[in-house]
Chains A and B, each alone.
Chain A
Amino acid sequence: MKRSEMLGRLLVIAGVLIVLSVPFAVHNYEGQGSIEIHGRMAETGGWSPSSIQAQAGVPLHLRLTSDDVMHGFAIGQSDVPAVDIAPGKMTDLTLTFDKPGKYTYYCTRWCGPNHWRMRGTIEVSGGSSDAPQPLSPPLYVTLNLNIDAPLPAPVTPVGRPSARRGAAFAAMLTPSYLTPDYYHAHSPAQAYLDLRADPTLSSLSDPSVWDLVAYLWRSNSTPDGLAEGQRLFAQNCAACHGETGGGNGVFAASVNAQTGKFPVNFTDPASMLGVSPALLQGKILRGGMGTGMPYWGPIFENETIWSIIGYLYTFQFDEEQK
C-alpha cells in the first residue's frame, strides 16, 4: 500500500475516532460525582431517574435538564429554593441533607396536564444516629373523617360574609369558638349552626352570624400565612382550580377528560362551606381518590398546608379585619 494511501486512511480513522470518542470522554469526566436528572412531562416519563440515593451530610451534586418544556425542580418540605430547568440546558444544583429520610422532588412549573405527577424521591441514609421522630397521624385521621364523602353545606349565607363586620361582634363569642381545635374540626356551615344555636348570640341576624364565622376563620390565619397560601395556591393549585378558585384552571378540561369530574370550585358556597379545615388538610395530604387531585403530603409541611387552607376560605369570606 502506498504511503499516501496509508496516511489518508489513518486520517479518516483518526477523524472518526476523535469525533466519536472525545464527547463521551469529556461528558464522563464532567459527570463524575454527579447525577444527571432529565425532566420530561409526566405523560412521557416524568423525572429520570425518579429515585436517588444520598448520604446525610454529604453534598449531592445534581445536573438537571429538561428534555421537552420548561420545568422547575424543588425538594418537598425543604427550604431549598426551586430552580428552573430549561429545555436543552443543564442546571447544576448541589444539595446537602442534614437528616436521613425520604425526600420528594417535584416539578414547580405547569408543564402539562399531569404536571403534578412529576415526582421523584431522594432516599437519604446515614448521618444522624437519632431515631426518627414518630409521626403523629394527621388531624383528618384523628377525627376519623371520611374525606371522600360529599359534604354539601346544609346552610349557606345570602351574601358574602365579612370578617371585618364580624369583628364587631367578637366580644360576644365564647372563647372556645376561637381555638384552633374548633376551627380545624368544623366546617363554616357547622360553625354557623353552632353559633346560631348559641343563646348568647340570638340577637344577631343570620348575616351577622355568618360574619362572625368569617371572623372566626380569619382569627385562625395571619397575613403572612395568607400571603404564603396565595403564593402556593397560584403555583400549585391554580392550574386546575383556576386563579380565582372557580375550578376552571387551564388543566380543568383535561382533568375532566381523565376523571369525568371538574376540579372543585372554591367559590361555590355549597361545596366550600361544608368542609372543615381538617378535611381539606386530608384532601391536600392524601389527594382525592379518583378526582385527579394530587397528594401533597411529601411536598408541603403542616404549617404550609394550613396556610393554603386559610387562603382557600378567602374565596368565601371577605377577610379584611380592622
Chain B
Amino acid sequence: MRFDLTRFPVVKFLLKNRWPQLIIFILMLAGFLYAIMAGYIGTPVGNNNFGIVFVWIAWWAILILVAVPFFGRGWCAVCPIPMPGEWIQRGAILEPPSRKPRWLSLRWPNKFRNIWMQNLTFTLVALFSAVILTTPKVTAVVLTVMLFLAVGMSVVFERRTFCRYLCPVSGFIGLYAQTAPIELRVKEKQVCITCDGKPCYNGASTLRQAYGGASPSTGSAAGYGCPWDVFPGGLTKNTYCGLCMECLRTCPNDNIAVNLRPFAADLAQPSRKMDEAFKAFIMLGAAMVYAGVLLGPWGTLKAAAYSVGTGAWFGYVAAFLALIFGLLPALFLLAVKVGQGISKSNVPARHSFTAFATVLIPLGLMFWVGFSLSFVLTNASYILIALSDPFGWGWNLFGTAAVTWHPFLTATLVPLQILALLGGLLWSARTALKVSREVKVSSVPVVVFATLATLIMLGLLL
C-alpha cells in the first residue's frame, strides 16, 4: 500500500525546486556553524552552551524521536555537513554549471563500499561520547572534523562519499530509516531499465548527451547523478537513499515517487549484509551502555567513561567493545543456532544471523527512543536557556535566559518509556516471525534474546 506524495503538484514543485532545499540548507548551515562557534568561544559549561544543548538535546531529540522514525533519512536531506564540500565539488550551489570543476572525482575503493567504516566511526564517537556530549569544545572539534572531512572527501572522491561511507550518524539513520513510513522509489522499474543514459545516476550531462544536447521532454534537464551513489531504479529499501531529491529533478521520465507507506515496510526483506547486522548490534549495545553511563546511578562507571586516557577508561572501552562486537553478537548467534536446531534448518548460520539481525532494527530504535525520552525531557529546559543566552555571555534574547532547570512530563516519562520498549519488543517479535518465514528458522530463541535485552534496558532506564 503506497501513496505517492508527488501527485500533489505543490509537493512536487517544492521537492523539485532547488530553492526551498537551499534555504533550509543555509539555515541549517548557519545553525551548525553557530553551534561550532559556541563550542569554541562560548561558556565551557555544557548545559548553558548552544553547541551542546542544540546538538545533543534539541537536534538529537528531533532526530531520534521524530525525523528517523517518521521521515527516515529526512535529516540527511537537509544536513548541512556535505553542503560546502558539494559546492566545491560541483562548482555550483544550484543547477549544474556549464563546466564541471576538475577535481579528482575518485571512486570510493570497492573494499570499503559498505558501512563497516561507519560502524567504526560511530563506535569511535561512542567511546568518547561521555566527554563529547558534555564538553562544548570537544563537540565543536568533532563537528569541525566532520565538516572538513566532508569537504576533503568531496574534493578527492565523487558524490557524497563522506555521507555514504564515513559519517557516523548516517550509518544508523540508514539502518533505522527502514522503519519509516516514507520512501523514495521509482514508479515503474521497466522505465528505468529502458532509460537511456540513466541520468538519475549519471547526471544531467549524460542526460543532455543522451538527448543529443536538447532538453528532455519531461523532468528537469539540470541535475546531478545520485549523490548517494544509488541507482534509484534498484532501490528496495531506504538504507542508502539520502532523500536529496536529485533523481526527482533529473529523471526525464517523471518516474520517481515519494511514497507514504506502512511503517517498517523495508523490514519484510531481511538483510543479507554482515556490516548492516553489526550496525544493529552496535546501536543496540550503545543504547544500553549510554543508559547505564548517562542515566544510571553508577558513579564509578560514569567516572570511567569521562576519564579519557586513564586505565579506568580503557577498561570501559574494552567492556564497551566486548559488548557490541563480542557478547551481543555471540549470544545472538547462539539464539540463531538454537533456532536452526529447533527447525532442523540447513540454512547457513551466517545467512540466518544477518537475516535475523533485522529483528534488532525496531528493537534498537525503540531502545534509543526510550533512552532519549529520558534525557531529552529531563534536559529540555536548557534549550530555553541556551536559546536566549547561547554563549553564556549574559544575553537574554528571548527572555528565557533566567529559566531555571526543570524536567518536563515527569509523570508520563516512565509510562512512555515502558510503552516504547514493549512496543519495540512486540515490533521486533513481529519482524522475527516474518524473518522466520523467510529463512525457515524458528524465531523463538531470537525473540527470547530480544525479550531479555528489553528487560535489561527496562532495568537500566527505570
A residues contacting B by CB (< 8 A) are 1-2, 4-5, 8-9, 11-12, 15-16, 18-20, 23, 26-27, 30, 63, 65-68, 87-90, 92
Contact = CB atoms under 8 A, between A and B. Distances in A.
A89 B19 CA distance: 39
B95 interface: yes
Given A68-B44, A68-B45, A87-B48, A9 B30 contact: no
B392 A88 contact: yes
A89 B48 contact: yes
B391 A23 contact: yes
B45 A11 contact: no
Contacts of B34: 19, 23
21 contacts: A1-B97, A2-B95, A5-B92, A5-B93, A5-B94, A8-B18, A11-B23, A12-B22, A19-B34, A19-B37, A20-B37, A23-B390, A63-B394, A65-B43, A65-B394, A66-B45, A67-B44, A87-B43, A88-B48, A89-B48, A90-B393
6 nearest A-B residue pairs (beta carbon): A88-B48, A90-B394, A88-B45, A87-B45, A88-B392, A8-B93
A5 B392 contact: no
Contact of A12 (B26, B392, B393, B395): B26
B394 A16 contact: no
Nearest to B22: A8
B47 interface: yes
B29 interface: yes
Interface residues of B, number: 33
B45 A19 contact: no
B93 A12 contact: yes
B392 A90 contact: yes
B93 A30 contact: no
Given A19-B30, A19-B33, A20-B37, A27 B391 contact: yes
Contacts, number: 79
Given A20-B37, A68-B44, A88-B47, A15 B29 contact: yes
Interface in B26-46: 26-27, 29-30, 33-34, 37, 41, 43-45
A165 B29 CA distance: 79
B32 to A, nearest CB: 9
Contacts of B395: 26
Interface in B382-404: 389-395
Nearest to B44: A67
Instruction: Please report whether the interface of chain A is mostly helix, strand, loop or mixed according to DSSP.
Output: helix
A30 B26 CA distance: 28
Given A26-B395, A88-B48, A90-B394, 11 more contacts: A8-B19, A8-B22, A8-B93, A11-B22, A16-B30, A20-B33, A63-B394, A65-B43, A68-B44, A88-B49, A89-B394
A2 B98 CA distance: 10
Contacts of A90: 389, 392-394
A66 B394 CA distance: 12
Contacts of A4: 94-95
Contact of A89 (B93, B94, B392): B392
B171 to A, nearest CB: 28
A23 B26 contact: no
Contacts of B18: 8
A90 B391 CA distance: 10
Given A20-B37, A65-B43, A11 B48 contact: no
Contacts of A9: 93
A267 to B, nearest CB: 31
A15 B94 contact: no
A8 B48 contact: no
A23 B30 CA distance: 12
Contacts of A12: 22, 25-26, 29, 83, 87, 93
A5 B22 CA distance: 11
Contacts of A66: 45
A87 B94 CA distance: 44
B33 A16 contact: yes
